[in-house]
């Protein structure tokens, strides 16, 4: 009988681990040393490409047995070296949750999904039943028992996937960006499910996340990765002291910590590092209390940019209704005017009607009632092909939009469909590829490019049609902070050159940083239309649509005694607080 | 995932899927036992009533048959022309000069039987499929020792269809937003226009394949598939055995009296009876 | 050194064994074929129900990559969407024999060369249509529906034109698919 050596007292240990994928020259992991105790909650963060997912996959054996390559060093899970285990054995101890909810669902109903893992383990039917009941309650999935998981919302799907893991009773949970693809409700659903699980089961949890501020008060340890290495590790407060370093590697540091660190540096005091907005408010309030504060009248009012008045709006919707088959009213009496040169963000949860609305602008959907005018002409009398000359659309997943084997051919696809000559198509494609910074990859297969480059190819495809209006759908979903801002910076440039930009998003910090105008949608109606600064003060409306302002704004509102206006970004808040104190 | 499944709690819905599968086989055999269109029409009515009692809307069945009309017409005409008994009463010839391709009364009666046989196979099939999710058939066949790897593959494939359908829809939207058009009358032009669509569909398919592999590996697929258990199980009950006994009895009776037995199911059986009454 | 797991405690692989990637490919390609049928992406060629069926290349490629056992899954899924009683046996047998088994030998000959793969794959498609499809349907319809075996002849000729158009369309689409497939997925996975 073969005896397995018990190699470590830690739940998970990495000893000098490096890994290079088979088709890659550059190692994805470089000399990782890591020890995670039983019952510990660990947050791992880092920009895209840092190696976080690779690290996660090492723990359950997907690396190197499914994702093949050269693995050196030792990964020890529950005392056993993964080099001597199979994925089948490791998956009985490690539950791995992936970023994309739908990708990990394989069953026709929620109950079948929860049963799938225990069935593979050969567990008796009665025991499977008990585990299903547990997961249904823990993940609040009881209303969806016989639903097809494909019909659930993103948050519900992710909760289902997590419940499916919980039913296997793993020792270690590894959650790889569980909220990355989700809207705020979905994120909140999943994060409370994770919290519930952590509290109830007291198991080891390794969570990879970009949304650091949501988790820092929950975890014991925080690790920051960049380019395959762990560059920082320690208790969250220790790590968050280095907010500048976090920003340098392309992460968005929690606003409360950034503000405290900057004030501490500016005034030479020790404020400590808050983990939540409440803590941040306490620390800043205590610091400012008793200090002499400049009167508000000495501050120059931050200008609210109101709706630009133009003669002919480029996009106009009048009394627009849209009803999907099955009597689903997705849009209810929507009126909207978008001026030329506008930079507008349409915000709302999934299902609020944002995408349904913009699909009317290029004819992908037609009104059930009401009219839509593009540049003064009714869309009723125009085909989608005709409208695509005026309204360009960049959809979420670039892989859905790539059709050709060369980048330049990809970009020429649209103009060719419009009937332009080969010379004209080439000229347009070359120009837009230069504009988006991809002139060096024109002959490459777009499918082989990195995520960020693919996104820019897709943007170039829309721009090659020379539309007056560019609609960008959810630029932050599945993207890290740095990448989503790259696309938005490009959009700002295009706006300065005269394009009208419409961004669909549920990311309120994106709205704060870029949009001149915000349209808040909920259940098919427009609740608010105006500048972001004013939108963030409409707390009741935001609450109704399950959105909240960016954390910097919330913190600024709490500190209203010291901050005379609604701030949009962390920098604005720091600036306002700095000027407050004489 | 259930193709066109009409949810319900009728007696027929609650039968074991294996019983329904055997019901279909028996209906198929009965339709082979007779050639007479009147008897085949009677079988059609009985199956239709079973579906009606199970709560299947008439419009659903009607819609499915509507799609088959061109096939029925083609098959009917071909069979009338191609089949002729000796001493047939020919109405006319399609090529009268050569007396080729006759249209006879007998062939028309026989061909009506052919179409009704086809219709019986279809309606029996649709009744069982509209009252049973396909995943339940798979579970039923597992009890008949369908290998777990095949059962798993089919189950996951069925579950993946809504996702892939959605993806295809989104791919088409993205292409239409780039002025892609497909509404050409010319079939060659139409096919050419669709070719680029298959590239993103393929990528989504490969992505889905890898996601499935990773997802099942991460949920102990590699543990020991031969010892896999099943939470949901199909079980035959008394009502299933009752239906099967009845079904087998009717089938045996049909085979005995029908075209393969005593010959009462010949194509002109009722036709001649009617002629006899008229005379 | 690339790690290899300890196999001593692993159960023996049965005849029906499929790896996770075989299951993934079979399920995904079968689902794609079914989604294409259910989505109505069939191109009508005229009366008589003749259509160009773009699900076939997905069924063929899925079966070719996953071997005969995987091809059963692909064939079932490809056939279940339309008159399954005839389509399932048709697709299962056809996909298993011509692509599930046949492609392994074709691939050995190609040694991974893309042009040869496309040629070999299309050569496999010829007997699938000319031997299997055009014989199966007339034989099934003639024997089970019309109960008139001589009907095979007119049915064969009525199927032939539509079948040839469908075959050409399938060859074009699968050539595109094979070109776009990552190289590791042009190799049979069994």
Confidence of residue A297 (pLDDT cuts 50, 70, 90): low
Q: Is the ipTM reported for this complex over the cut 0.90?
A: no
CB within 8 Å: B206 and C185: yes
**B2 touching A, CB under 8 A?**
yes
**Quick one: pLDDT at residue B189?**
79
Confidence of residue A295 (pLDDT cuts 50, 70, 90): low
- Whole-model pTM: value is 0.90
Contact assessment for residue B107 and residue B79, using Cβ atoms and an 8 Å cutoff: yes
Q: How far is A85 from chain C (nearest CA, A)?
A: 5
The single residue listed with the structure tokens 């009632």 is A369
In A, which residues are within 8 Å of B223 by CB distance? 88-89, 91-92, 120-122
Q: How far is A153 from chain B (nearest CA, A)?
A: 13
A213-237 mean pLDDT: 92
Across chain A, what does the average pLDDT equal? 89
Q: B156, B177, B216: which to substitute to probe chain A, counting the most A Cβ within 10 Å? A: B177
Q: How far is B227 from chain A (nearest CA, A)?
A: 6
Residue C88 included in any domain: yes
Q: What tens digit of pLDDT does each residue of C163-181 get?
A: 888 898 889 889 989 998 9
A293-322 mean pLDDT: 69
In B, which residues are within 8 Å of C158 by CB distance? 74, 78
pLDDT beyond 70 at A332: yes
Residue C15 included in any domain: no
CA-nearest residue of chain B to A360?
B177
pLDDT beyond 90 at A482: no
pLDDT beyond 90 at A45: yes
Query: What residue ranges of chain C have pLDDT lower than 50?
Result: 1-10
Residue B129: phi and psi, rounded to 5, are: -75, -30
B180-195 mean pLDDT: 78
In B, which residues are within 8 Å of C35 by CB distance? 161, 164-165, 168
Contact assessment for residue A494 and residue A470, using Cβ atoms and an 8 Å cutoff: yes
A550-554 mean pLDDT: 91
CB nearest B202 (choices: C35, C81, C177): C177
Residue C37 included in any domain: yes
Hey, which residues does B103 pair with through a beta bridge? B92
B212-237 mean pLDDT: 90
**Quick one: pLDDT at residue A302?**
55
Burial code (b: 16+ CB inside 10 Å, e: under 16) for A513-549 equals: bbbbbbbbbbbbbbbbbbbbbebbebeeebeebbbeb
The answer to which of A272-286, A478-492, A514-528 has the lowest mean pLDDT is A478-492
Q: How far is C75 from chain B (nearest CA, A)?
A: 10
pLDDT beyond 90 at B278: no
CB within 8 Å: A69 and C180: no
Across chain B, what does the average pLDDT equal? 88
% of chain A at pLDDT higher than 90: 59
Residue C89 included in any domain: yes
**A54 touching C, CB under 8 A?**
no
**A69 touching C, CB under 8 A?**
yes
Residue C14 included in any domain: no
In C, which residues are within 8 Å of A61 by CB distance? 5
Between B4 and A287, the higher pLDDT residue: A287
**Quick one: pLDDT at residue C3?**
40
pLDDT beyond 90 at B14: yes
In A, which residues are within 8 Å of B213 by CB distance? 66
Q: What tens digit of pLDDT does each residue of B16-54 get?
A: 999 999 999 999 999 999 999 999 999 999 999 999 999
pLDDT beyond 90 at B12: yes
A336-358 mean pLDDT: 92
In C, which residues are within 8 Å of A71 by CB distance? 2-3
Between B156 and A6, the higher pLDDT residue: B156
Burial code (b: 16+ CB inside 10 Å, e: under 16) for A113-125 equals: bbbbbbbbbebee
Instruction: Write the CATH number for C81.
Output: 1.10.1760.20
Q: B119, B205, B258: which to substitute to probe chain C, counting the most C Cβ within 10 Å? A: B205
A92-118 mean pLDDT: 93
**Quick one: pLDDT at residue A299?**
58
CA-nearest residue of chain B to A98?
B215
**Quick one: pLDDT at residue A556?**
92
Residue C3 included in any domain: no
Highest average pLDDT, of A396-400, A503-507, B156-160, B271-275, comes from: B156-160
Confidence of residue A3 (pLDDT cuts 50, 70, 90): very low
Confidence of residue A150 (pLDDT cuts 50, 70, 90): confident
% of chain A at pLDDT higher than 70: 95
Handedness of CA A264, A270, A276, A280 (dihedral sign): negative
Residue C190 included in any domain: no
Chains that touch A (3 or more CB pairs under 8 A): B, C
* Domain of C69, in residue numbers: 20-185
DSSP state string for chain B: --TT-----SHHHHS-HHHHHHHHHHHHHHHHH---HHHHHHHHHHHHHHHHHTT--HHHHHHHHHHHHHHHHHHHHHHHHH---TT--EEEEEETTTTEEEEEHHHHHHHHHHHHHHHHHHHHHHHHHHTS-HHHHHHHHHHTT--HHHHHHHHHHHHHHHHHHHHHHHHHHHHHTTT-----SSHHHHHHHHGGGHHHHHHHHHHHHHHHHHHHHTTTTTS-GGG---SS-----HHHHHHHHHHHHHHHHHHHHSTTTTSTT-TTHHHHHHHHHH-
- Count structural domains, chain C: 1
Q: What tens digit of pLDDT does each residue of B255-272 get?
A: 998 877 787 778 777 777
Residue C72 included in any domain: yes
CA-nearest residue of chain A to C6?
A84
pLDDT beyond 80 at A14: yes
Chains that touch C (3 or more CB pairs under 8 A): A, B
A558-577 mean pLDDT: 88
Q: How far apart are CA A307 and CA A322, in angstroms?
A: 26
A533-538 mean pLDDT: 91
Between A365 and B185, the higher pLDDT residue: A365
């Amino acid at each position: 009988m073969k005896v397995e050596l018990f190699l470590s007292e830690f739940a998970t240990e990495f000893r000098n681990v490096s890994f290079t994928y088979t088709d890659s020259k550059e190692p994805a992991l470089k000399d990782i040393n890591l020890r995670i105790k039983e019952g510990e909650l660990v947050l791992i963060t880092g920009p895209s490409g840092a190696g976080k997912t690779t690290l996660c996959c090492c723990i359950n054996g997907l690396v190197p047995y499914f994702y093949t390559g050269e693995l050196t060093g030792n990964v020890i899970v529950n005392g056993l070296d993964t080099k001597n285990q199979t994925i089948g054995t490791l998956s009985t101890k490690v539950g791995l949750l992936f970023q994309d909810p739908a990708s990990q669902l394989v069953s026709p109903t929620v109950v079948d999904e929860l049963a799938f893992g225990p069935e593979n383990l050969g567990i008796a039917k009665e025991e499977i039943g008990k585990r299903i009941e547990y997961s249904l309650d823990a993940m609040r999935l009881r209303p969806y028992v016989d639903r097809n998981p494909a019909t659930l919302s993103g948050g519900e799907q992710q909760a289902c996937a997590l419940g499916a893991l919980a039913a296997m009773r793993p020792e270690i949970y590894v959650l790889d960006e569980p909220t990355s693809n989700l809207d705020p409700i979905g994120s909140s659903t999943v994060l409370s499910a994770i919290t519930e699980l952590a509290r109830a089961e007291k198991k080891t949890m390794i969570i990879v996340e970009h949304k650091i501020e949501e988790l820092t008060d929950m975890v014991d340890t925080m690790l920051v990765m960049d380019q395959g290495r762990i560059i920082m590790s320690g208790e969250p407060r220790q790590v968050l002291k280095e907010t500048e370093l976090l920003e340098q590697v392309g992460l968005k540091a929690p606003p409360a910590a950034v503000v405290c660190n900057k004030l501490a540096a500016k005034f030479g005091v020790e404020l400590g590092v808050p983990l939540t907005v409440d803590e941040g408010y306490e620390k800043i309030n205590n610091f400012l209390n008793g200090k002499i504060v400049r009167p508000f009248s000495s501050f120059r009012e931050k200008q609210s940019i109101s709706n630009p008045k133009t003669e002919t709006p480029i996009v106009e919707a009048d009394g627009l209704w849209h009803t999907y088959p099955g009597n689903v009213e997705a849009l209810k009496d929507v009126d909207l005017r978008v001026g030329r040169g506008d930079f507008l963000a349409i915000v709302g949860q999934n299902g609020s009607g944002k995408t349904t609305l913009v699909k009317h602008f290029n004819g992908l959907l037609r009104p059930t009632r009401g009219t839509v005018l593009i540049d003064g002409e009714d869309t009723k009398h125009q085909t989608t092909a005709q409208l695509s000359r005026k309204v360009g659309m960049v959809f979420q997943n670039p892989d859905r939009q790539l059709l050709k084997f060369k980048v330049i051919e990809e970009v020429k696809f649209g103009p060719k469909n419009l009937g332009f000559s080969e010379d004209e198509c080439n000229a347009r494609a070359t120009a837009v590829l230069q504009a988006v910074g991809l002139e060096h990859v024109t002959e490459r297969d777009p499918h082989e490019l990195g995520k960020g480059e693919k996104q820019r190819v897709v943007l170039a495809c829309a721009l090659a049609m020379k539309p007056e209006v560019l609609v960008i759908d959810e630029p932050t979903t599945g993207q890290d902070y740095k990448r989503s801002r790259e696309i938005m910076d490009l959009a700002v440039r295009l706006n300065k050159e005269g394009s009208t930009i419409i961004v669909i998003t549920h990311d309120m910090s994106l709205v704060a940083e870029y949009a001149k105008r915000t349209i808040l949608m909920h259940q098919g109606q427009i609740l608010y239309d105006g500048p972001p600064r004013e939108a963030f003060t409409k707390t009741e409306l935001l609450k109704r649509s399950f959105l909240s302002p960016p954390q910097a704004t919330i913190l600024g509102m709490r500190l209203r005694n010291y901050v005379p206006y609604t701030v949009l970004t962390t920098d604005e808040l720091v600036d306002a607080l700095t000027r407050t104190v004489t | 995932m259930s193709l066109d499944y009409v949810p319900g709690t009728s007696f027929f819905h609650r039968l074991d899927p294996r019983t329904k599968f055997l019901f279909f086989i028996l209906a198929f055999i009965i339709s082979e036992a007779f050639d007479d269109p009147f008897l085949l029409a009677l079988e059609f009515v009985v199956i239709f009533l079973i579906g009606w009692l199970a709560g299947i809307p008439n419009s659903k069945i009607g819609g499915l048959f509507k799609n088959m009309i061109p096939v029925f017409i083609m098959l009917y005409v071909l069979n009338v022309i191609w089949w002729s008994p000796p001493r047939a009463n020919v109405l006319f010839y399609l090529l009268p000069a050569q007396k080729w391709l006759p249209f006879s009364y007998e062939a028309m009666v026989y061909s009506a039987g052919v179409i009704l046989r086809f219709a019986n196979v279809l309606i029996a099939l649709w009744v069982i499929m509209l009252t049973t999710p396909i995943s339940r058939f798979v579970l039923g066949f597992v009890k008949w020792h369908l290998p777990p790897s095949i059962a798993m593959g089919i189950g996951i494939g069925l579950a993946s269809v809504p996702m892939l359908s959605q993806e295809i829809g989104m791919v088409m939207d993205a292409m239409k937003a780039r002025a892609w058009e497909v509404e050409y009358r010319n079939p060659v032009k139409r096919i050419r226009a669709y070719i680029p669509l298959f590239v993103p569909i393929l990528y989504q398919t490969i992505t889905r394949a890898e996601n499935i592999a990773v997802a099942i590996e991460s949920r102990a697929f590699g543990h020991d598939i031969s010892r896999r258990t099943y939470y949901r199980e199909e079980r035959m009950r008394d009502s299933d055995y009752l239906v099967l006994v009845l079904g087998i009895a009717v089938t045996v009776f049909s085979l005995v009296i029908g075209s393969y037995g005593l010959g009462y199911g010949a194509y002109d059986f009722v036709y001649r009876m009617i002629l006899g009454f008229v005379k | 050194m690339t790690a290899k797991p300890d196999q001593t405690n692993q159960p023996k692989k049965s005849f029906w064994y499929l790896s996770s990637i075989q299951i993934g490919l079979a399920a995904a390609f079968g689902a794609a074929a079914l989604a294409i049928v259910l989505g109505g992406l069939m191109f009508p060629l005229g009366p008589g129900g003749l259509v160009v069926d773009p699900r076939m290349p997905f069924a063929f490629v899925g079966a070719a990559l996953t071997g005969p056992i995987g091809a059963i899954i692909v064939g079932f899924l490809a056939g279940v969407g339309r008159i399954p009683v005839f389509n399932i046996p048709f697709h299962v047998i056809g996909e298993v024999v011509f692509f599930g088994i046949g492609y392994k030998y074709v691939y050995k000959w190609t040694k991974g060369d893309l042009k040869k793969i496309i040629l070999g794959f299309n050569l496999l498609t010829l007997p699938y249509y000319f031997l299997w499809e055009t014989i199966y349907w007339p034989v099934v319809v003639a024997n089970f529906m019309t109960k008139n075996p001589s009907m095979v002849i007119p049915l064969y000729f009525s199927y032939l034109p539509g079948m040839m158009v469908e075959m050409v369309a399938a060859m074009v689409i699968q050539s595109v698919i094979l070109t776009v497939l990552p190289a590791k997925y042009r190799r049979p996975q069994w």
